[in-house]
Structure formats: structure tokens, C-alpha cells
Amino acid sequence: MLKNIAIGVVVVLVLVVGLVASRPSDFKIERSATLPASTEVVFAQVNDFHAWAGWSPWEAIDPAMKKTFSGAQNGTGAVYEWDSKNDKAGAGRMTIRKSDYPASIDLELTFLRPFAATNGTVFTFAPVGEGTTKVTWTMTGTNGFMGKAASMFMDMDKVVGGDFERGLAALGTRAKADADARAKAKADAAAAAAPAPAPGPGPAPEPN
């Protein structure tokens, strides 16, 4: 009896392992949105890790997480590391591998906790009319055995894609506010630089 149970367990395990192993290794998660700001303004929000606190969907998970910035101030070579006690935020590192103004930003995203993984992430920016930009956020990578197993019970495209959608919406709000602030500063500077109006004619002389 016990022998039959053991054989049954082994058969089930073999089937499960085979099913997991048969799942695709490579994955791609992508979302796009048209944002109400120029390509220059939107690009700047993504190109500087210091600005991510204003729109990243993961920053609000743990406002107290430890954050470290190193490398370049922004653009190619900039590095952002985070470490949170919150399991959902975990710990990891992002590095901008290539910043191609104003068309695209290529990052390496490394998760250290709660699981280890390294994925490629790309943002592309395309002007759409005047003062609007289509932003496409793409993440690609390869699932190991555990990643394949997790994908059997969790729709990663829906989960991570939902984060991307929220992030793009927040990015649009942040970029619009930045664009409005830039427009106001430009208008104020133009007004300050404008020549003062010429003085009008003086009072007429009084008759004798």
C-alpha cells in the first residue's frame, strides 16, 4: 500500500515538473499611454531616478524604504538601489544602461529580494501632436523553474502590467504639472525681460 502511494506521489511530481518545465521561459510585459506633456518633459521624469518618487507605482508601497543613488546624476550610468522590509517592495537595483535623448531609456532591473532575477526594461517616447507623448514601458526577461511555477498560479502580465498602467497614469500627472510649471516660469521670465512702457506725455503747461 505504502509502496503504491509512494509511486503515485513520484508520478505526480514528475508530471508537475514536466508541466512547469514545458512553460515558456521568455516573457514580455508591455503597456503604453499617451501623456499630456512634451517628449522633453516626460523623458526627464524617467531619466532621473530622483524623480521616480513622484510617479513610480512601487514607491508608495513603503515610503520608509532605504534608497541609495550612485553613479551619474541622471541618464546613462545612473544607479538606484532600494531596500525595504516590505516583502512586496523587497530589495533591488536599477541601472540606466543607455539614455538616448529624447527617444528611449534602457535599464537593467535586478531584484535581490523576495526573489532573485534580472530583467531588461525599456521606455520609449514618441511625440503625438503638440504637447503630448506616447510612452511605452516594456519589461522582458527569462523565467527560471520557480518563475515558471509561479506563472502557473499568477498572471504576471496582469499583475505587473497593472503596476505599469498606474505608473504611466501617475507619470502623466507629474509630467503635466512639470510642463505647466515650466510654461509659467517661461512666461514670468518673458514678462520680467519685457521693456518698461514708455512714459506718457507730461502735464500740459499752465497758461500765463
**What does the pLDDT read at residue 16?**
38
CB 29 within 8 Å of CB 139: yes
pLDDT digits (tens, 9 = 90+) for 99-157: 999 999 999 999 998 888 899 999 999 999 889 999 999 999 876 544 544 545 556 77
β-pairing, 66-71 vs 78-83, is antiparallel
* 111 within 8 A of 120, measured Cβ to Cβ: no
Examine the pLDDT at 86 and tell me if it is beyond 50.
Answer: yes
Complete domains list, the chain, with CATH? 22-185 (3.30.530.20)
Q: Return d(Cα 76, Cα 105) in angstroms, integer.
A: 9
Which triple of cell numbers denotes residue 41? 518633459
User: Is residue 23 pLDDT above 70, yes or no?
Assistant: no
**Angstrom distance (rounded) from CA 143 to CA 151:** 9
Contacts of 99 (CB under 8 A, 6+ apart): 47, 74, 75, 76, 105, 106
Between CA 158 and CA 161 the distance in angstroms is 5
pLDDT grade, residue 183 (50/70/90)? confident
Model pTM? 0.78
Question: Percentage of the chain surpassing pLDDT 90?
Answer: 52
Is it the case that residue 24 has pLDDT exceeding 80?
no
Cell of 40: 522633453
| 81: enclosing H helix or E strand | strand 78-83
**Please, what sign has the CA dihedral across residues 108, 113, 117, 119?**
negative
